[in-house]
């Protein structure tokens, strides 16, 4: 296990523990997301700053706002890391309202999409990004109406911010999906998300698919099954690491095993597959930070955060739905 990867793990665990003490009632994955945000800036978690920003958020948005609820800790953390928390919140709110235009129901994923646009420095160009995002979602729905839903908004925003044209993106996305869908039968939604991530990355789609399948197979050969649900998309983060698939897999498994010994990352808090997902993110960022591909490093880091955000929301929403069903059944 590379020293830099271990150091990243230690910083993540340290920040997660600080946030846990300040926000014990928050979801464990949201605590990790908040910790990751501080890691990205090379800072130590500041609970007091987050709480100050949470007060601002609660003052400006009602308890029913989609910027609060499950998103509250995450948004408050992002505000705390910005130079002007109130302006950051206003920008996210404005972009979210633009994304909501013409839609009846609110959306956690559109909140995350607004954050992505702000964090990418595209707030002033949000109209163009949203227009391209909508065109991409329309194209994806036309090709795969049963695979495309609200959850795809975040990755569609990432695709919209690439230099590729809408037509080229949709063409590559479809070619990528046709290339790998048979390897992930019964997991079509996850496979489609994986393809969206692959399409955000540069390179020939066939080579990207080959590296992805090689990595997935290498995990199986190592006796570890990589998750095929919300975790699958994170596999794409590893394809640009200039190493053999088996060596990459060994590093990810070693990182996951190291995290397993830390509070917040044991089986009480997450599944083995979720831990592998976080390990893949940390390994990807560590190796790409040291490579000559600076652009790939930035893209990988951004995509990793989006996948982590989506994964956290997927688990929270699924858990809430299950609890609601159980409650209804008992009544």
pLDDT digits (tens, 9 = 90+) for 34-80: 999 998 888 999 999 999 999 999 999 999 999 998 899 999 999 99
Flag whether pLDDT at 126 surpasses 80.
Answer: yes
17 phi/psi in degrees, rounded to 5: -65, -35
- pLDDT at position 290 is 53
In this structure, what token pair is assigned to residue 223? Answer: 């006796």
In this structure, what token pair is assigned to residue 120? Answer: 């990418």
Least trusted range by pLDDT, from 5-9, 184-188, 275-279, 284-288? 284-288
Flag whether pLDDT at 326 surpasses 90.
Answer: no
Flag whether pLDDT at 331 surpasses 70.
Answer: no
- pLDDT at position 301 is 62
Region of 204 please: left (phi>0), alpha (psi -120 to 50) or beta. Answer: beta
In this structure, what token pair is assigned to residue 235? Answer: 């596999």
Q: Quick one: angle between helices 272-289 and 245-260, nearest 10?
A: 120
Quickly count: other Cβ atoms within 10 Å of residue 202's Cβ. Answer: 13
> What is the length of the chain?
331
Whole-number Å distance between alpha carbons of 30 and 73 = 7
Whole-number Å distance between alpha carbons of 317 and 323 = 10
End-to-end CA distance of the chain: 51
Q: What is the 8-class DSSP label of residue 162?
A: S
Cβ(120)–Cβ(302) below 8 Å = yes
- pLDDT at position 330 is 46
In this structure, what token pair is assigned to residue 174? Answer: 């479809």
CA distances from 53 to 25, 77, 277 (A): 17, 8, 29
Q: CA 61, 66, 70 angle in degrees (round to 5)?
A: 105
């Amino acid at each position: 296990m590379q020293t830099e990867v271990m150091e990243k793990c230690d910083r993540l665990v340290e920040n997660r523990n600080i946030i846990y003490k300040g926000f014990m009632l928050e979801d464990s994955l949201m605590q990790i997301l908040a910790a990751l945000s501080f890691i990205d800036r090379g800072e130590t978690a500041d609970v007091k700053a987050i709480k100050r920003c949470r007060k601002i958020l609660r003052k400006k948005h009602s308890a029913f706002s989609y910027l609060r609820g499950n998103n509250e800790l995450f948004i408050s953390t992002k505000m705390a890391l910005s130079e002007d928390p109130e302006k950051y919140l206003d920008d996210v709110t404005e972009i979210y309202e633009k994304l909501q235009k013409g839609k009846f129901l609110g959306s956690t994923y559109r909140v995350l999409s607004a954050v992505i646009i702000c964090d990418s420095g595209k707030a002033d160009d949000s109209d163009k990004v949203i227009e391209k995002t909508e065109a991409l979602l329309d194209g994806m729905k036309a090709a795969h109406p049963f695979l495309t839903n609200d959850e795809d908004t975040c990755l569609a925003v990432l695709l919209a911010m690439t230099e590729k044209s809408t037509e080229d993106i949709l063409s590559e996305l479809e070619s990528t999906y046709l290339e790998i869908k048979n390897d992930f039968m019964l997991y079509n939604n996850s496979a489609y998300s994986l393809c969206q991530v692959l399409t955000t990355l540069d390179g020939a789609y066939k080579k990207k698919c080959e590296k992805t399948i090689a990595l997935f197979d290498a995990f199986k050969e190592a006796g570890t099954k990589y998750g095929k649900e919300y975790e699958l998309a994170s596999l794409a983060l590893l394809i640009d690491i200039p190493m053999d698939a088996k060596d990459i897999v060994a590093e990810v498994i070693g990182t996951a095993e190291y995290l397993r010994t830390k509070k917040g990352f044991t089986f009480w808090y997450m599944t083995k597959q979720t831990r592998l997902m976080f390990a893949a993110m940390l390994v990807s960022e560590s190796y790409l930070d040291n490579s000559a591909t600076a652009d790939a490093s930035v893209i990988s880091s951004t995509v990793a955060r989006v996948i982590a955000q989506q994964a956290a929301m997927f688990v929270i929403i699924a858990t809430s739905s299950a609890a609601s069903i159980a409650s209804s059944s008992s009544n």
